[in-house]
Amino acid sequence: MEFNLTFKQYLDSKEKLREAVTKTPQRVASYTVRKYCKLIIGESKEEKSTIALKPNQKIIIDWLYVDVDNPTPVSLKFNGQKDIDAEQAFETYWQGSKLLKWLNRNAREETNN
């Protein structure tokens, strides 16, 4: 598949891309836990708690992409957990990069095919 763009089309598409980047995108991603693990939640280190997770439980994270390499987790929800309400949203004080590393080790992202 080959695209032949004129220089004007190239500049227009580049400008549209720049405009889209200035609008902070938000994305909801779903992850499946792969192994027994714990995840720290809470607004700060002083108010933190842990959630024990089992394989095949779901974590739904609302990401805010202010920085593409380090997105900000806005909220976390857990499905398949008996003692946690699936509709309740939790926060974490972890940076997005730290949470992404944890997810890479302990969960896999579900794809929408």
pLDDT digits (tens, 9 = 90+) for 26-49: 889 999 999 999 999 988 888 888
Q: Alpha carbon 81 to chain centroid distance?
A: 19
Average pLDDT over residues 43-60: 90
CA 83 to chain centre: 23
pLDDT digits (tens, 9 = 90+) for 61-80: 999 888 777 889 999 999 87
pLDDT at 26: 85
